[in-house]
């Protein structure tokens, strides 16, 4: 089964269907059958393992991510406030020790709007492309983007309100994000103006932190309000073209999250915490086509599924350096 191309189409909004029997490898098929025959035994074992794990769960990857987001964004602020020229600019476009860097989606918007490629923009684009190609594309979203951090806090509130049954979560078709991606690209090309950059909460927050707050923060507050009371992670899941741009890069990245079906009890805790739960559909009982399956390019490599998995069925894997189970 050609998972690479299939996972890209899933990122673009295609629904991940149940794997046809003929597409499942013989070892995986035998393992699925064993689990089906020993379902009740596995459930008892799973409950015990989950109870023990929840008591010792330290959420190490979440702490590391939060530290990374704060460090990256505060480095902009410190460099500007102290005029030490380490990291100048903002997440949209910047210079690190004088070397140009440009957000991939922002660079594409600029090229479409102004119909020309500036040499500094090209240098910045290639630099960031190579960096996130190595680190996993959408890793930018969960390890650098300041809106991701605020949205994560909003998500916590959203979940608490859901538990109290004070609100309902509303979902949308994931193809909407692909539609917005095309819409903003066409808008830049036709209007000659980078409209998305005006609306991007990532850019708004980055500039506000460095240069001071503006009225644009009201837009960010509105988005967070929607995510708290109406739709969980709405901006990142259904709108933001930045994530989709980095997702294409992530499709070629050697850094992936690997899923090993052998010890998985299919409790679904990983899908509950995931920002993009469709990348974890392989963890549904009987769906994995191989014993080891790499998560798709829409995965943000946030590590939340790894943190919550009691059997280490999910792990970071760097192709060529780390071995699969």
Each residue of 157-176: pLDDT tens digit? 999 999 999 999 999 999 99
User: Are 311 and 264 contacting, i.e. CB atoms less than 8 angstroms apart?
Assistant: yes
Q: What is the dihedral of CA 303, 210, 193, 121, to 10 degrees?
A: -70
User: Are 117 and 107 contacting, i.e. CB atoms less than 8 angstroms apart?
Assistant: no
Q: How far is CA 236 from CA 19, 34, 43, 304, in A?
A: 27, 38, 34, 16
Each residue of 178-231: pLDDT tens digit? 999 999 999 999 999 999 999 999 999 999 999 999 999 999 999 999 999 999
Residue 99, pLDDT > 70, answer yes
Q: Taking Cα atoms as reference points, which of 226, 269, 283, 306 lies closest to residue 65?
A: 306
Candidate from 21-25, 95-99, 152-156, 192-196 with smallest mean pLDDT: 21-25
pLDDT at 115: 92
Backbone angles phi, psi at 293, to 5 degrees: -130, 130
């Amino acid at each position: 089964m050609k998972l690479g191309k299939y996972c890209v189409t899933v990122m673009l909004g295609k629904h991940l269907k149940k794997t046809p029997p003929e597409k499942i490898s013989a070892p995986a098929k035998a393992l699925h059958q064993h689990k089906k025959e020993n379902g009740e035994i596995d459930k008892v074992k799973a409950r015990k393992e989950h109870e023990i794990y929840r008591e010792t769960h330290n959420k190490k990857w979440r702490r590391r991510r939060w530290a990374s987001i704060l460090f990256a964004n505060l480095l902009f602020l410190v460099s500007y406030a102290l005029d030490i020229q380490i990291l100048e600019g903002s997440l949209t476009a910047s210079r690190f020790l004088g070397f140009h860097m440009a957000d991939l989606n922002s660079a594409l918007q600029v090229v479409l709007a102004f119909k020309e490629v500036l040499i500094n923009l090209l240098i910045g684009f290639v630099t960031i492309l190579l960096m996130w190609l190595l680190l996993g594309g959408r890793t930018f979203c969960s390890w650098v983007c300041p809106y991701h951090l605020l949205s994560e806090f909003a998500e916590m509130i959203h979940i608490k309100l859901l538990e109290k049954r004070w609100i309902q979560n509303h979902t949308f078709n994931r193809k909407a994000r692909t539609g917005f991606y095309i819409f903003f690209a066409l808008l830049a090309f036709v209007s000659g103006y980078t409209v998305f950059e005006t609306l991007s909460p990532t850019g708004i927050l980055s500039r506000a932190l460095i240069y001071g707050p503006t009225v644009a923060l009201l837009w960010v507050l509105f988005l967070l309000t929607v995510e708290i009371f109406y739709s969980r992670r709405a901006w990142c899941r259904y709108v933001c073209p930045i994530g989709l741009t980095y997702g294409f890069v992530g499709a070629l990245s050697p850094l992936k999250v690997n899923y090993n079906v052998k010890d998985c009890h299919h409790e679904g805790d990983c899908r509950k915490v995931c920002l993009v739960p469709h990348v974890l559909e392989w963890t549904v009982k009987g769906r994995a086509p191989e014993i080891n399956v790499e998560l798709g390019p829409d995965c943000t490599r946030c590590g939340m599924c790894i943190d919550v998995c009691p059997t280490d069925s999910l792990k970071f894997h760097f192709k060529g350096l780390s071995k699969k189970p």
